[in-house]
């Protein structure tokens, strides 16, 4: 479906075209018509499916077609992280560029004064994290009683971070006549209860997991757990890349990996929830500008990270789920660019690999790093054992890798270019 079919305000249509949007994604096609009718909405959709525009465009359309109430915030978007708040606000500004609608962000880690000014002035759209927004409410800075539209984005992440009680409080402070839209990748029972409590007869839309772009090449790099850092450093020596995003499972490991990389003379930025806002913004700015080519991040901190030029995603630690893998790898291969997803795997990761391969619908290529000393045994399988062998539980069919098994692919060992 083309965006022209939504019959948006001419100013929004101009912004859509200027942004390069042509055909709507599945979540946009499913959500926008109902949202334009003013319906409450519950959407199940992954990050990267275009859901931000799916709620921003109807929100802007509503503000343009209903009388403005001066001095009051008219729309409130609540989101779990600072980075995602900035990402959403950037989308709002891009799509509202030909209108007089103003927006601002409200989150912790930065000064209160500019946020207080935006809230007291009644900025049209506020994109906020729950904790800081309620701090402003407590200080008497925020008046939410005139909010016409409430959006809860990435509700599952807010549940994980313990934000549901603040979200309930925020909903109570807004008008009962508001339109409410809630988006989440998954719906635990707590979120279903929240939906029942704060939404009215919502339209439910569900968009399945979107696989990464076909321009991404996926590779598994088997290695013993105590040799992962050595393999990563060897990989970074060989990779010819403009921009590399490295994922770790924990904040402490992200710090440790970045420190090890910097000991080799390379610059590496770090992004995780324990960093201050100024540190996080500096890391993002350096990475986006290309001044820093390596960014080490945890899943939560990278939520909403949208940098089109990322050439490689390296999973230092394999993610816990196939959904997380697809979210991570989807940071590369954007805007028709080619990208590479490289995952360091140990023997303990076999079941997760099987889940990922099922989600992708095909086996992932397995490679050994040329010139890397794997020690006494490689994890890549050969049915005859010895150097280049692996436990017999791994597939060793010559046709190529069977999901979940390490076996040498029919291609050459990994070369010096990736």
> In which residue are the tokens 């600072």 written?
82
Predicted local confidence at residue 302, as pLDDT: 58
Predicted local confidence at residue 220, as pLDDT: 95
Closest C-alpha to 152, from 98, 190, 120: 190
Predicted local confidence at residue 33, as pLDDT: 95
DSSP state of 45: -
**3-state class of 415 per DSSP?**
coil
Predicted local confidence at residue 378, as pLDDT: 52
- Successive 10-residue mean pLDDT values, the chain, 418 residues: 89 94 88 96 79 95 88 94 92 96 95 95 96 96 95 89 92 95 85 93 81 81 93 88 89 95 93 82 87 88 67 92 80 74 92 85 88 65 34 30 37 38
Distances (CA, A) of 243 to 52, 295, 332: 25, 8, 9
Predicted local confidence at residue 391, as pLDDT: 31
**Could you report how far apart the first and last alpha carbons of the chain are, in Å?**
36
How many CA atoms does the CB half-sphere of 37 hold within 13 Å? 9
Predicted local confidence at residue 227, as pLDDT: 92
Determine how many CB atoms are found less than 10 A away from the CB of residue 274: 13
Helix (H) or strand (E) holding 360: helix 350-360
**3-state class of 330 per DSSP?**
coil
Widest distance between CA atoms in the chain: 77
Distances (CA, A) of 217 to 23, 136, 259, 329, 350: 25, 46, 28, 10, 20
Is 110 buried (19+), middle (13-18) or exposed (0-12) by CB count in 10 A? middle
Distances (CA, A) of 357 to 26, 188, 238, 322, 377: 23, 25, 26, 8, 25
């Amino acid at each position: 479906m083309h965006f022209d079919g939504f019959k948006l305000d001419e100013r929004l249509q101009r912004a859509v075209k200027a942004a390069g949007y042509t055909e709507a994604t599945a979540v946009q096609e499913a959500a926008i018509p109902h949202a334009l009718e003013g319906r409450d909405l519950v959407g199940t959709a992954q990050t990267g499916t275009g859901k931000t525009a799916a709620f921003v465009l109807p929100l802007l359309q509503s503000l343009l077609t209903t009388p403005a109430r001066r001095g009051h915030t008219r729309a409130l978007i609540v989101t779990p992280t600072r980075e995602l708040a900035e990402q959403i606000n950037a989308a709002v500004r891009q799509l509202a560029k030909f209108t007089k609608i103003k927006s601002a962000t409200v989150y912790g880690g930065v000064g209160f004064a500019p946020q207080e000014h935006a809230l007291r002035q009644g900025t049209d759209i506020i994109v906020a994290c729950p904790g800081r927004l309620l701090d402003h409410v407590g200080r008497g800075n925020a008046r939410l009683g005139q909010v016409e539209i409430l959006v809860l984005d990435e509700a599952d992440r807010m549940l994980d971070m313990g934000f549901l009680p603040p979200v309930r409080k925020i909903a109570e402070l807004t008008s009962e006549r508001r339109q409410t839209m809630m988006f989440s990748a998954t719906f635990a029972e707590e979120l279903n209860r929240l939906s029942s409590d704060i939404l009215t007869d919502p339209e439910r839309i569900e968009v399945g997991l979107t696989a990464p772009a076909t321009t991404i090449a996926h590779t598994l790099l088997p290695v013993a757990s105590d040799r992962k850092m050595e393999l990563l450093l060897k990989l970074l020596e060989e990779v010819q890349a403009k921009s590399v995003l490295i994922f770790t499972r924990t904040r402490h490991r992200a710090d440790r990996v970045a420190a090890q990389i910097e000991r080799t003379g390379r610059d590496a930025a770090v992004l995780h929830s324990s960093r201050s806002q100024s540190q996080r913004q500096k890391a993002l700015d350096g990475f986006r500008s290309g001044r820093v080519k390596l960014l080490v991040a945890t899943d939560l901190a990278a939520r909403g990270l949208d940098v089109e030029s990322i050439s490689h995603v390296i999973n230092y630690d394999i993610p816990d789920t196939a959904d997380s893998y697809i979210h991570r790898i989807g940071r590369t291969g954007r805007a028709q660019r080619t990208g590479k997803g490289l995952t360091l795997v140990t023997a303990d990761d076999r079941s997760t690999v099987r889940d990922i391969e099922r989600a992708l619908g095909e086996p992932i290529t397995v490679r050994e790093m040329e010139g890397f000393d794997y020690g006494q045994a490689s994890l890549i399988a050969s049915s005859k054992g010895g150097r280049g062998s692996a436990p017999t539980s791994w597939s060793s069919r010559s046709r190529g890798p069977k999901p979940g098994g390490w076996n040498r692919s029919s291609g050459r060992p990994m070369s010096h270019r990736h």
